[in-house]
Structure 1
Amino acid sequence: MVSQPGNLPTSNQRLGHAPNRPIRHEGEFKMPTILLSGGRRVQRSLGRVQPSLERKSYVCLSPNSPNCESTQENLARPVKGDPDLPKLAKKKLVPTAEVPICPATLYSTDSEGPAIPRSDFPSRSRKTPSGGLDPEFEFLRSQGLSRAVITTLKVLDFLQKGLEIGLSTSTLKVQISALSAFFDHPLADHRWVKRFIAAANRIRPQILKRVPSWDLSLVLDALSRPPFEPLKDASIKNLTLKTSLLVAVTSARRLGELQAISIREPYMCILPDRITLTLDPSFVPKVASRFHKNQEIILPSFYGNPSSSKELEWHSLDVRRSVLEYLKATKPWRKDHNLFVQFQGKNKGVKASKTTIARWLKTAIASCYTEQGKEVPPNLKAHSTRAISASWAEKRGASLEQICRAATWVSSSTFAKHYRLDLPNSQDLAFGQKVLQAVVPP
């Protein structure tokens, strides 16, 4: 249904519509003067009423209306003004017609040719699809795909871009978990996502470094010598480096947990043979379970009553002794209740960040190598303290249960799969040596 406009010539029925351009007929046609209700005369220039007229709404005029939506649906849809559309006169001049508003009735005016009807365009909403997706979402929906499938396709495209820039499979899995929380949909269980991750593992297999990146025995030997000993003569920097490294390797805790250690009661308990620490309840660990929140950190004494020169040397690695000396040295200028505080600069006495603690651990390891006249290992990482300490504990007879409780691993498979290192063992040489002994006459 199309309205019959008044005071408009009917010799040319095909009208053109283009934003920011006047409406005109094909060829040259001069419009007559339009008389407004107030008695004023307004000249029509270039086929468009001047902006002094009131703008109420707009309709699309067409001799036919193919592929339109139902009239009832469009009548219920509010008609909003568009500043880019031509202005219409008041009701007395151009009455509002109750006609369907359908994109199929629009025309495109070419700057070099006549107006051409565009009746083959599908009806599309002007609103942005829910979820903030781009117009491709609408196209995929028009192909019959469900919202869940479209989301998965977009996730696969996102993961492919990450794979192309060199992200590891483990990083891609973290991104999948984040996207699952955002879309409130278990994307990791989708068969296409599973196949993508399996293919990514084949293309870029994860290579676990089973060899320790640094030598713990060398580092501990250096910590028992100057400039880290004697403690009362050590600088605050060396005291901080030694204490932070000893706490890290004897607890096998993450950086966030080392930062969250509090010295307030009842979170710190100093006993004759150990120091017991409990994380501040306000701290949220990486795995926010009751097991991870309530697991104590035990810092044991090491040869607390030395009876020989060798035991006295080993006693210098007593983490309890180092912590007590560190608390004594930082007490005059300490500002926070966290165990580790910054020892210099304008933030002296303020709790150390995870980044700062990580730098301390790497600096301590590098300093130990330098003091021993050794080349510093490349690519030192603070997180390596967990793997090295847990692997050495297992080698020295600690049970998997003890290791997992100390490092807050719920399952021993986590240690076996991600942290266990191949430490040097003389028994591993037995097989090869037995074979080579064939050269020895019987």
Structure 2
Amino acid sequence: MTKGLSTEVIDTIQASRKPVTNAIYAKIWKKFCTWCRDYPPSPENPNLSQILDFLQAGFSLGLKPSTLKVQISALSIYFDFPLADHRWIKRFIKGCSRIKPHIHNPVPSWDLSLVLNILTEPPFEPLDSANMKILTFKTIFLISITTARRLGEIQALSRREPFLRILDDQIILKLDPLFLPKVVSEFHRRQEIILPSFCANPKSEREKKWQTLDVRRCVLFYLEATKEWCKDSSLLVNFGGKNRGLKASKATLARWIKSTISLCYKTANTSLPGDIKAHSTRAMATSWAEKRGASLDQICRAATWSSSSTFAKHYRLDIASQEDLAFGRKILQAVVPPK
């Protein structure tokens, strides 16, 4: 609905949302208009009953409550009315959530310790003899797992100053100022991303092995290896094909992360468990950080969540430590009768 606004004003208002969001909302509006052909009145003047019938039709076809909420947001924009605040809409969504509750699988889909251990061995080490594909795989995985950032944010990292600063014990990165994060705020746009060193001065064989997981060290190797043929200011670039040296897409970054996990399982001669998603590194990183003593405030700040409820509801995994396993193992030791 234009409400008599000029085209320029409408374009400016639409710029408040990401292009992909506008595209999704437009698709929902088109679907609603098509649906209204069989369920009058016209889409320009619907009543609440008609809107609820549209939502019910989608729910009956298997749409999740979260998807219905997106539809409500889209229709609210077109009708210029906060549908989500209406008591009937609230109760409808609550009913949908009770019928089809959100099920979060808290079990890790892959083993972080297995992957990290393989990353300390050939073909990932030594780095100076690893090929470009292997070096890229290790670099993107370590960045992803040590920062818990979204792929869009990792893609927006730059290799040029002042957005990259190399210090003795860390690398400090800033997002490209032209990049718009999922939440457009000063906090999200200005927050620094820290890549810390790990076992920088090893004193034992075990610490030397751990040092191979130093993300700062890995990124420095990567920057040196790509500087001669890199054609873009982006930190992560394509290593082969016609796009060699150009900025890697989010889809490419996701494929590299999944390929890294898959290769680690193959190297360990272990079958890959199910369908691995690149986004799973976000849950894995934050859950292990909590397990090792990171506060919820630290976790939310690193992952750019405004509330710890997002972590608790959607990302926290049940990671059993040796202490957690001790109780059950004590019981099973009953198989050995006391002397």
Q: Which TM-score band applies after superposition, normalised by the shorter structure?
A: 0.7 to 0.9
Higher gyration radius (CA): 1
Aligned equivalent of 1:264, options 160, 176, 182 = 160
**Any idea what SS the aligned residue of 1:276 has?**
strand
Offset of residue 382 of structure 1: 0.7
Q: 1:345 aligns with which of 223, 226, 241?
A: 241
Q: In structure 2, what is the equivalent of residue 412 of structure 1? A: 308
Q: Aligned partners of 1:176, 1:237: CA distance in 2, in Å?
A: 44
- Post-superposition offset of 1:293: 1.0
Quote how far apart the aligned CAs of 1:270 are. Answer: 0.5
Question: What does residue range 62-81 of structure 1 map to in structure 2 within 5 Å?
Answer: none
- Cα deviation for residue 414 of structure 1 reads 1.5
Once residues 298 and 249 of structure 1 are traced to their aligned partners in structure 2, the CA distance between those partners, rounded to angstroms, is 12
Alpha-carbon spacing, 1:233–1:177, altered in 2? closer, same or farther (3 Å):
same
State the identity %: 60
Unaligned runs of 5+ in 1: 1-130, 142-146
**Which one has more relative contact order, counting CA pairs under 8 Å at least 6 apart?**
2
Structure 1 residues 263 and 136, CA, compared in 2 at 3 Å: closer, same or farther?
same
**1:135 CA drift (Å):** 8.3
Query: Counterpart of 2:105 in structure 1: which amino acid?
Result: K
- Give the match for residue 424 of structure 1: 320
Deviations 1:173-213 (A, max 9, x none): 22222222232211111222222212211222211110111
Provide, for residues 381-409 of structure 1, a one-character-per-residue CA deviation record: whole Å limited to 9, x for no partner.
11111110001011111111111111111
Distance 2:330 2:198 in 1: 38
Amino acid corresponding to residue 336 of structure 1 in structure 2? D
**Residue segments in structure 2 that go unaligned for 5+ positions in a row:** 1-32
| Residues in 2 aligned to 1:287 and 1:151: alpha-carbon distance in whole angstroms | 32
2:129 to 228, 233, 255: 233
Partners of 2:84 and 2:156 in 1: CA distance = 32
For 1:274-353, list aligned pairs within 5 A.
Answer: 274-353=170-249
Give the deviation of 1:412 after TM superposition.
1.6
Q: Identify the range of structure 1 (323-332 vs 184-193) with the bigger mean alpha-carbon deviation.
A: 184-193
Task: Tell me which residue corresponds to 2:24.
Answer: none
Show CA shifts across 1:2-54 (max 9, x none).
xxxxxxxxxxxxxxxxxxxxxxxxxxxxxxxxxxxxxxxxxxxxxxxxxxxxx
The 5 A counterparts of 1:333-412 are 333-412=229-308
Quick one: distance in 1 between partners of 2:261 and 2:119?
9
What RMSD in Å do the two structures reach over aligned CA positions? 2.4
Q: CA deviation at 1:215?
A: 0.6
Number of the residue aligned with 1:6: none
Query: Which whole-Å CA distance do the structure 1 matches of 2:129 and 2:94 have between them?
Result: 56
Q: Which amino acid aligns with 2:85?
A: D
Question: What is the alpha-carbon distance in structure 1 between the residues aligned to residue 171 and residue 184 of structure 2?
Answer: 24
2:175 & 2:197 partners in 1: Cα distance?
20
Q: Which amino acid aligns with 1:383?
A: H
Within 2, Cα distance between the matches of 1:278 and 1:173? Answer: 33
- The residue type paired with residue 324 of structure 2 is D
Q: Which of 54, 58, 63 is equivalent to 1:167?
A: 63
What secondary structure is seen at the aligned counterpart in 2 of 1:398? Answer: coil
Q: TM-score, normalised by structure 1?
A: 0.65
The 1-side partners of 2:52 and 2:328 are apart by: 48
> Cα deviation per residue 1:283-336 (whole Å; 9 max; x = unaligned)?
100011111111110000001111111111110000001111111111111111
Q: Summarize the Cα distance change of 1:433–1:325 in structure 2 as closer, same or farther, 3 Å threshold.
A: closer
Question: TM-score with structure 2 length normalisation?
Answer: 0.83
**Which whole-Å deviations, capped at 9, do the CAs of 1:105-145 have from their partners, x for residues lacking one?**
xxxxxxxxxxxxxxxxxxxxxxxxxx99658544899xxxx
Q: Matches of 1:182 and 1:138 in 2, distance apart?
A: 16
2:150 aligns to what?
254
The aligned length equals 305
